[in-house]
């Protein structure tokens, strides 16, 4: 590899850009690992060469706007992110698990003038690209040929106050909003993180969330600006069994995820431990004392447990650190104290400052630049107080006399579903826009299953009476699935003659009927499954589903997602089926065959285990269920 080495950046202002911070690390230790991913490993020099090649490709296009990225969760994605920044252009990460129509919206709304993709996502990119938008370009061949590093170009690529990325969050009025963040603020957040957790080149930071979410920004750039290695792990694509193994193999030392993903991880660990993890950082939704206890049981003896509170619009705002042995009160763990450079102001209902309780207003130089092209929501959320920028979070908190903050919930209708930020209003708008629907409401409630997670339930008033063809549950859920990410599609949709109202004319949530607790009535069995008992592989699948979904029985024609299943639960099914059937099954096959009968037929067609192997598998499955029941009871 030819390398055009240049001195590291000298201007203090320029070191406030992501690219200059990265260039300094490339110059320091070019052969250190920078990315350890499912799709390969890259040293700092290799990653810099990739970025340089992508930047050259982008410059050749002659366009200057944002660069949309639809790439796999690994080296390709990070290379294209850095390449866009090196070309002096913001990046817009697109999540390949989102429906094409939502991705097309993000592409258009962001004003992206280039779209980079890879071999895995080419077909999706082509279906997303509109006639008017940029044509997708495959970055894989460019990366394969990358060899030259332009450190000087990297160090001077951008202005610190230029936009580094646009990240889309759910929007209450039906349209997602793109949060614009600057290089300077990303570098500030990454350096705060590096200092707080003492991150060094020996560290490995896990990148578990998709690059379209704020957590991945901190995880990636705290590594790349400190000489550590970022370890992107594709949970959606490869499953949870893969997560524990990947954390272990790649020696992840700084673990960061939502509590939901963490709890699934720990459940998948069984009696195993991850002794190299020295920081467990959870955030995005409420963290409990049980999470701390699980950390002490499964992670390194010196592992620090941290509840991190923040939002895409500011990154981290406050943190609560619990070193090993620190006492933990039962219940919800506080969100702690504001980070350096950030002040938390509490506002009462009348917008006056309160010393003890109110809505969190984050006041800092490092608040995001605003919502892209959305003047009204930007004005409602972003402002200025005593000469400093502010972001109104919508979160309620109490401040103890020692300054520790405790999260008290939301002041509005934003909820978290498995750690994902969801505006109920956005789903309601999509529902009400469906042809068979006259009126719609969506609520979040505690799920009836043993896991007690929050689930979404939709209520609709059909346009022409309850028998309207376009208003049946399956049609509505399928239509929403084309518009919204899977975590925003309600688990159940209930048709009502009218929505119950309070005396003041608001939706009376308490008067809404509970959705059916049991799975919806099964459609008539297919001829192949008519009246028969499930046997062989189908029986193994059905038992696994019953355990994971906490249901007494499932039928051949039942669809996993209609029964309350979601991607994390599918990951548990994946782990169980691989162990039970004793063979590797790509996660994507489970998503492609979501019914018991369909999956059984597919798996049987593809290398069916021998008869006695199935019996042995059934027995293994029973042993695993017993072991899980024992673990759950501890």
d(C-alpha 61, C-alpha 112), whole Å: 13
Angle of CA points 591, 585, 36, to nearest 5°: 95
Judged by phi (left if over 0) then psi (alpha if -120 to 50, else beta), residue 420 lies in beta
d(C-alpha 534, C-alpha 539), whole Å: 5
Give the nearest distance from C-beta 382 to ligand ADP in angstroms: 14
Give the nearest distance from C-beta 333 to ligand ADP in angstroms: 8
Give the nearest distance from C-beta 393 to ligand ADP in angstroms: 5
x/- binding map, residues 427-466, to ligand ADP, per CB under 6 A?
----------------------------------------
d(C-alpha 554, C-alpha 118), whole Å: 38
Tokens of 105: 């919206």
Does residue 310 bind ligand ADP (CB under 6 A)?
Answer: yes
Strand boundaries in 463-584, DSSP class E: 492-495
609 secondary structure, DSSP code: P
Which residues are 254's β-sheet partners? 205, 279
Does residue 397 bind ligand ADP (CB under 6 A)?
Answer: no
Distance set, CA 618 to CA 219, 270, 533 (Å): 41, 20, 15
Distance set, CA 546 to CA 457, 554, 558, 564, 596 (Å): 21, 7, 12, 11, 11
d(C-alpha 31, C-alpha 271), whole Å: 36
Tell me which stretch binds ligand ADP (CB under 6 A): 241-249, 279-287, 449-457, 585-593: 279-287
Please identify which residue in 236, 278, 372, 421 interacts with ligand ADP, judged by CB under 6 A.
421
d(C-alpha 464, C-alpha 468), whole Å: 6
Give the nearest distance from C-beta 198 to ligand ADP in angstroms: 21
Does residue 346 bind ligand ADP (CB under 6 A)?
Answer: no
Could you please report the per-residue DSSP string of 425-467? HHHHHHHHTSTTEEEEEEEEEE-SSTT--EEEEEEEEEBTBTT
Q: Which is nearer to ligand ADP, 371 or 407 (CB)?
A: 407
Site for ligand ADP in 63-122 (CB under 6 A): none
Q: Which is nearer to ligand ADP, 22 or 213 (CB)?
A: 213
150 secondary structure, DSSP code: B
Q: Which is nearer to ligand ADP, 142 or 417 (CB)?
A: 417
Please identify which residue in 335, 461, 570, 571 interacts with ligand ADP, judged by CB under 6 A.
335
State which residue has the least CB distance to ligand ADP.
284
x/- binding map, residues 184-223, to ligand ADP, per CB under 6 A?
-----------------------------xxx--------
Contact 199, 332 (CB under 8 A): no
Does residue 269 bind ligand ADP (CB under 6 A)?
Answer: no
Tokens of 123: 């077909």
Judged by phi (left if over 0) then psi (alpha if -120 to 50, else beta), residue 38 lies in alpha
Q: Which is nearer to ligand ADP, 285 or 550 (CB)?
A: 285
Does residue 395 bind ligand ADP (CB under 6 A)?
Answer: yes
Q: Which is nearer to ligand ADP, 415 or 540 (CB)?
A: 415
Q: Which is nearer to ligand ADP, 102 or 421 (CB)?
A: 421
Give the nearest distance from C-beta 386 to ligand ADP in angstroms: 22
d(C-alpha 143, C-alpha 137), whole Å: 12
Give the nearest distance from C-beta 158 to ligand ADP in angstroms: 24
Please identify which residue in 53, 311, 440, 488 interacts with ligand ADP, judged by CB under 6 A.
311
Tell me the number of residues near ligand ADP by CB under 6 A: 22
The helix/strand/coil state of 430 is helix
Does residue 545 bind ligand ADP (CB under 6 A)?
Answer: no
**What residues contact 632, with CB distance under 8 A and at least 6 apart?**
none
Residues 296-312 as b or e (16 or more Cβ within 10 Å = b): bebbbeebbbbbbbbbb
Tell me how crowded residue 627 is: count the other CB atoms within 10 A of its CB: 12
| Closest residue by Cα to residue 303 from 337, 265, 275, 335 | 275
Does residue 165 bind ligand ADP (CB under 6 A)?
Answer: no
Please identify which residue in 19, 43, 156, 169 interacts with ligand ADP, judged by CB under 6 A.
169
409 secondary structure, DSSP code: E
Tell me which stretch binds ligand ADP (CB under 6 A): 71-79, 226-234, 308-316, 572-580: 308-316
Give the nearest distance from C-beta 106 to ligand ADP in angstroms: 16
Q: Which is nearer to ligand ADP, 318 or 430 (CB)?
A: 318
Does residue 283 bind ligand ADP (CB under 6 A)?
Answer: yes
Does residue 168 bind ligand ADP (CB under 6 A)?
Answer: no
3-class SS letters over 498-531: CCCECCCCCECHHHCCCCCCCCCCCCCCCHHHCC
Applying CB under 6 A, the residues found at the interface with ligand ADP are 169, 213-215, 283-287, 307-312, 335, 393, 395, 407, 410, 416, 421
């Amino acid at each position: 590899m030819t390398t055009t080495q240049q001195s590291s950046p000298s201007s203090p202002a320029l070191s406030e850009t992501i690219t200059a911070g990265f260039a300094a690390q490339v110059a320091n230790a070019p052969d250190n690992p920078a990315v350890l991913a499912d799709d390969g490993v890259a040293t700092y020099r290799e990653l810099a060469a990739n970025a340089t090649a992508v930047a050259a490709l982008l410059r050749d296009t002659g366009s200057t706007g944002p660069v949309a990225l639809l790439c796999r969760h690994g080296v390709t994605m990070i290379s294209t992110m850095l390449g866009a920044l090196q070309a002096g252009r913001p990046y817009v990460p697109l999540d390949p698990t989102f429906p094409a129509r939502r991705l097309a919206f993000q592409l258009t709304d962001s004003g992206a003038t280039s779209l980079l993709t890879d071999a895995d996502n080419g077909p999706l990119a082509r279906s997303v690209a509109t006639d008017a938008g940029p044509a997708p370009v495959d970055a894989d061949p460019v990366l394969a040929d990358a060899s030259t590093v332009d450190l000087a170009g990297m160090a001077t690529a951008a202005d610190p106050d230029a936009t580094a990325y646009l990240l889309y969050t759910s929007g209450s009025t039906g349209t997602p909003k793109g949060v614009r963040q600057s290089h300077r603020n990303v570098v500030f957040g990454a350096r705060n993180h590096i200092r707080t957790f003492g991150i060094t080149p020996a560290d490995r930071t896990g990148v578990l969330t998709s690059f379209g979410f704020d957590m991945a920004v901190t995880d990636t750039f705290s590594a790349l600006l400190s000489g550590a290695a970022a370890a992107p792990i594709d949970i959606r694509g490869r499953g949870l069994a893969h997560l524990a193994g990947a954390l272990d193999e790649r020696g992840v030392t700084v673990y960061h995820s939502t509590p939901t993903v963490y709890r699934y991880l720990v459940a998948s660990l069984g009696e195993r431990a991850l002794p190299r993890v020295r920081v467990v950082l959870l955030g995005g939704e409420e963290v409990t004392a049980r999470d701390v206890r699980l950390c002490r049981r499964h992670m390194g003896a010196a592992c620090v447990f941290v509840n991190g509170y923040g939002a895409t619009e500011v990154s981290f705002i406050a943190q609560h650190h619990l070193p090993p042995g620190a006492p933990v009160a039962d219940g919800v763990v506080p969100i702690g104290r504001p980070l350096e450079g950030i002040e938390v102001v509490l506002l009462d209902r009348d917008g006056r400052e309160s010393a003890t309780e109110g809505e969190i207003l984050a006041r800092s130089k490092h608040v995001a630049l605003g919502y892209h092209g959305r003047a009204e929501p930007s004005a409602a959320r972003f402002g200025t107080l005593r000469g400093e920028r502010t972001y109104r979070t919508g979160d309620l908190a109490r401040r103890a006399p020692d300054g520790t903050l405790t999260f008290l919930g939301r002041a509005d209708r934003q909820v978290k579903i498995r750690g994902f930020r969801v505006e109920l209003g956005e789903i309601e708008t999509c529902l009400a826009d469906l042809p068979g629907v006259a009126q719609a409401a969506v609520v979040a409630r505690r799920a009836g299953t043993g896991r007690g997670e929050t689930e979404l339930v939709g209520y609709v008033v059909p346009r022409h009476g309850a028998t309207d063809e376009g208003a049946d549950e399956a049609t509505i859920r399928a239509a929403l699935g084309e518009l919204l990410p899977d975590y925003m599609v309600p688990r159940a949709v209930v048709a009502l003659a009218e929505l119950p109202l309070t005396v003041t004319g608001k939706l009376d949530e308490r008067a809404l009927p509970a959705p059916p607790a049991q799975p919806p009535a099964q459609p008539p069995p297919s001829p192949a499954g008519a009246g028969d008992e499930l046997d062989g592989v189908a029986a193994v699948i059905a038992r696994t589903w019953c355990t994971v979904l906490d249901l007494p029985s499932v039928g051949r024609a039942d669809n996993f997602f209609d029964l309350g299943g979601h991607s994390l639960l599918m990951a548990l099914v994946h782990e169980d089926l691989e162990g039970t059937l004793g063979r590797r099954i790509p996660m994507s096959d489970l998503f492609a065959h979501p019914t018991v009968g369909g999956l059984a037929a597919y798996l049987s067609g593809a290398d069916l285990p021998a008869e006695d192997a199935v019996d042995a598998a059934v027995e293994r499955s029973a042993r695993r269920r017993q072991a899980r029941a024992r673990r759950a009871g501890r």
